[in-house]
Amino acid sequence: MNRAIGALQANGFTAELLDDAAAARARIKDLIPEGAGVFTGASETLRLSGIAQDIETGARYQAIRPRVLEMDRATEFDRIRRLVATPDVFVASVAAVTETGALVIASGSGSQLPASAGGAAKAIWVVGAQKLVPDLSSALRRIEEYALPLESERARAVYGQPSAVNRLLVLNAEPQPGRGTVLLLREAIGF
């Protein structure tokens, strides 16, 4: 874990090693300015930790996800696309983080990828310990063999259909100092 934190920092990310989801939940409040427009990516890590609920139900932030879910996809698609692509702050998780300091994000729709890739002014990724892998090939194997089956099971229960890895994003480095923060947890949480 310490090697991954050092590699992430060397690659331009702000990276912190925290004990657990409760510590991440508290740290998020320090990292996001009050009144910021915050888009939360669909994430079991955020749901299980309570971070999604803190952001989406309180009055502290301008939560984007609840607004988007109420919008008509047929008539307001372009507005939705712009809202989720360029928030003030994007908070999510990743499918894997490598010991070499790369973040790997898998997506069915791709809606979360623009904010991660650079559209958000700030991005914060909360990552459970089980997502740490040695390298990119291990990350891809983890996605296919572990995360996708669990996400498909969740998607079947919620949407009536399985998930798919239709898009992958690998962030090898963060070229904009201070934009990307990784909160790596010592505990396992999420997929």
pLDDT digit string (tens) for 121-140? 999 999 999 999 999 999 99
User: What does the alpha-carbon distance between residue 31 and residue 175 come to, in Å, rounded to a whole number?
Assistant: 19
Q: What percent of the chain has pLDDT over 90?
A: 98
| Cα–Cα distance measured from residue 90 to residue 125, given in angstroms and rounded to the nearest whole number | 8
Q: In the prediction, which pLDDT does 58 show?
A: 85
pLDDT one-digit tens code per residue, 51-86 = 999 999 989 999 999 999 999 999 999 999 999 999
Please choose, from the candidates 66, 79, 96, the residue with its C-alpha nearest in 3D space to the C-alpha of residue 165.
Answer: 96
pLDDT, the chain, mean: 97
- Total domains present in the chain: 1
Q: Is there a domain that residue 190 lies in?
A: no
Residue 145, domain member (yes or no):
yes
- Residue 63 lies inside a defined structural domain of this protein: yes
Tokens for 109, please give them.
């729709």
Of residues 158 and 28, which shows the higher confidence score? 28
In a domain, residue 42? The reply is yes
Residue 165, pLDDT score: 97
In a domain, 122, yes or no: yes
> Is the residue at 16 inside a domain?
yes
Answer whether residue 177 is part of any domain: yes
For the segment 6-21, the average pLDDT, to the nearest whole number, is 98
pLDDT of residue 102: 98
CATH classification of the domain holding 158: 3.40.50.10420
Q: Is the pLDDT reported for residue 17 higher than 90?
A: yes
pTM, full prediction: 0.96
| Domain interval for residue 96 | 2-185
191 in any annotated domain: no
